[in-house]
Amino acid sequence: MSPHRFCVAPMLDLTDRHCRHFHRLLSRRARLYTEMVATGALLFGPRERLLRFDGTQHPVALQLGGSEPHELAQAARIGERAGYDEINLNCGCPSERVQRGAFGACLMAEPALVADCVRAMRDAVSIPVTVKHRIGLDRVEDYGFVRDFVGTLSLAGCEVFLVHARNAWLKGLSPRENRTVPPLRYETVARLKRDFPALTIVLNGGLRDHAVALAQLARVDGVMIGREACENPWMLAQVDERYFGERGPRADREETIEAMRPYLMREVTAGEPVRAVLRPMLGLFNGLPGARSWRRTLSDPALLATEGPRTLDLALQALRASGGAQRARTAELQ
Ligand SMILES: Cc1cc2nc3c(=O)[nH]c(=O)nc-3n(C[C@H](O)[C@H](O)[C@H](O)COP(=O)(O)O)c2cc1C
């Protein structure tokens, strides 16, 4: 069974170390990814703050943004030393800021350069070097383009490809629109797996439901879920059982909240804002009664300022008052 069978996607401003800690409480087996870290920030910026994570998070991959082989090699080495299990190169982000830095999705137009980057990183570290990319650029839906991209990188030693099954439209769409407007084409990703059976091909994009994701595992090695994992994190509680045939670590949501409490106290004592540590839990009751009051209480700036970590208890009280906790327990038992 591939270690990439179920991955939580890298997401800027979302999959920070607090979020990954919370996700790890819900699944022992999901493979976690950091937010993208630009090589410049890592080499010349607040390195310790960017890389810090607690040892319970493994397996966890560091995603890098960059296009200069020497800098990426240095950054990869730093990542390995910090304890990450994988270095992932971002070749899928379409934002204009990233394009100005000449990395992200625009790198798909330069497979030879990306191959140099992969080689340089592989020479620098002993952990896997993987690539996350799209299936094409702009409106061109030519399978040969992504096939040759993957082929070139596989010759450079990349064995794992995390494929967002959409083109990136480099002009005219915001990054957000670039996650919804270009059509999803799962068949292209399945075809990559057929053409490169020895490579690990992971499907990403638009997966919101375990049944749909599990069905895809008949034709790819793994699935990567982004937005749904953050908007509805309880879905991660089913991952160990449904994807790996193992019992998950958490029976119910309230137990997960209790498991988060020591971490909350420790981080807040160390100076982290309460809001930042609680944020990954906002969607925990999504779809159940009380979800809105839970979210509203947990993110209320005035409460957070006056009550600190006790905001969590107040949110639980609000949830219970709305009957949400009871409904959650019933849902968990079904
Ligand atoms: C808020 C946000 C930030 C993102 N940041 C990154 C990033 O840093 N690196 C990256 O490769 N992809 C990033 N993505 C894209 C996701 O990794 C993923 O490819 C995309 O959301 C499609 O998967 P989904 O439909 O399961 O969400 C981001 C997506 C979102 C919603």
Q: What is the CATH number of the domain that holds 321?
A: 1.20.120.1460
Alpha helix positions (H), 164-308: 186-195, 210-216, 227-231, 239-244, 253-269, 274-278, 291-298, 301-307
For 306-322, the pLDDT digits (tens) are 999 999 999 999 998 88
Displacement of CA 148 from its chain's centroid (Å) = 26
Give the ligand 1 atom nearest the CA of 90.
11
Average confidence score pLDDT of the chain: 95
| Cβ pair 48, 265 in contact under 8 A | no
56 shares a domain with 76: yes
User: Which of 19, 91, 93, 230 is the catalytic position?
Assistant: 93
Alpha helix positions (H), 60-124: 69-81, 96-100, 111-124
269 shares a domain with 166: no
> Dihedral sign, CA of 73, 203, 243, 157?
negative
Q: What's the gap in Å between 87 CA and the centre of ligand 1?
A: 16
* Domain, as residue range, for 313: 253-333
For 1-51, the pLDDT digits (tens) are 999 999 999 999 999 999 999 999 999 999 999 999 999 999 999 999 999
225 shares a domain with 77: yes
Q: What's the gap in Å between 165 CA and the centre of ligand 1?
A: 12
pLDDT band at residue 96 under the 50/70/90 scheme? confident
Q: What's the gap in Å between 228 CA and the centre of ligand 1?
A: 11
pTM: 0.97
111 shares a domain with 175: yes
**Residue 129 tokens, joined:** 């070097």
| Most ligand 1 atoms within 8 A of CB, residue of 7, 8, 11 to mutate | 11
For 208-229, the pLDDT digits (tens) are 999 999 999 999 999 999 999 9
Residue found by looking up tokens 């915001």 in the block: 174
Q: Whose C-alpha lies nearest to ligand 1, atom 6? A: 11
93 is catalytic: yes
Is 90 exceeded by the pLDDT of residue 172?
A: no
Phi, psi of 287 (to 5 degrees): 90, -5
CA–CA distance, 47 with 35 (Å, rounded to integer): 14
The predicted model gives 170-186 an average pLDDT of 94
123 shares a domain with 14: yes
Check residue 327 and give its pLDDT.
Answer: 77
Q: What is the CATH number of the domain that holds 228?
A: 3.20.20.70
Q: Whose C-alpha lies nearest to ligand 1, atom 15? A: 11
Judge whether 186 lies within some domain: yes
Residues of the chain above pLDDT 90, percent: 91
The total domain count for the chain is 2
CA–CA distance, 150 with 205 (Å, rounded to integer): 18
CA–CA distance, 222 with 200 (Å, rounded to integer): 8
Q: Whose C-alpha lies nearest to ligand 1, atom 19? A: 164
Judge whether 122 lies within some domain: yes
Ligand 1, pocket residues at CB < 6 Å = 9-14, 35-36, 63, 90, 92-93, 132, 164, 179, 204-207, 225-228
3-class DSSP state of 91: strand
236 shares a domain with 108: yes
For 106-149, the pLDDT digits (tens) are 999 999 999 999 999 999 999 999 999 999 999 999 999 999 99
| Cβ pair 201, 137 in contact under 8 A | no
What separation in angstroms does the CA of 287 have from each of 204, 281, 295? 23, 14, 12
